[in-house]
Amino acid sequence: MEHVTRTNTILYCNRWSETVAFYASVLGLPITFENDWFVEFRIGDNAFVSVADGSRSSVRPGDGAGLTLSWEVSDLEAAHASLAASGATPQPIAKRFGANVFDVFDPTGNRIEFWSSARPSTVE
């Protein structure tokens, strides 16, 4: 396989306007492309997530079924606090698969998992 130089996950949504607003306003992701039914957001140097209006595409919306966006962040507690202050409802921080993690759901029902490596505990 050829080396992948860019990745873009496309979410086909029934609640397009609300989902676009969530990624722009609540998550604060910068828009790199938009038209009247498709908006692309930057989540990293070469990583993007796009929101497409399911009523205007040939791909049917999954309404969150079978999909998790998993994003590692450097400061999980700050991400949690920022999302809560922005109007999202992040779940409590927990441990999962050896990492600290919390989930939040976009208006379409897609799960976004925020995580950071669990720090080893120190025993005094």
Asked whether residue 124 is domain-assigned, the answer is: no
Whether 80 contacts 95, CB under 8 Å:
no
CATH number at residue 36: 3.10.180.10
What's residue 42's pLDDT?
Answer: 98
pLDDT at 119: 62
Residue matched to tokens 């492309």: 33
Residue range 45-80, pLDDT digits in tens: 999 999 999 999 999 998 888 899 999 999 999 999
Cβ atoms 37, 16 nearer than 8 A: yes
Exposure of 118 by Cβ count < 10 A (0-12 exposed, 13-18 middle, 19+ buried)?
middle
| Average pLDDT of every residue of the chain | 93
Which whole number is the average pLDDT over 105-121?
87
Range scoring the smallest mean pLDDT among 17-21, 63-67, 94-98: 63-67
Mean pLDDT lowest for which of 4-18, 46-60, 108-122?
Answer: 108-122
Q: How many Cβ atoms sit within 10 Å of the Cβ of residue 27?
A: 19
> 79 lies in which domain range?
7-54+67-117
Any domain includes 59: no
Output the pLDDT for position 121.
47
Helix-then-strand count for the chain, H and E: 2, 8
This prediction has a pTM of: 0.89
Give the chain's domain count: 1
Q: How wide is the angle at C-alpha 103 spanned by C-alphas 12 and 112, nearest 5°? A: 25
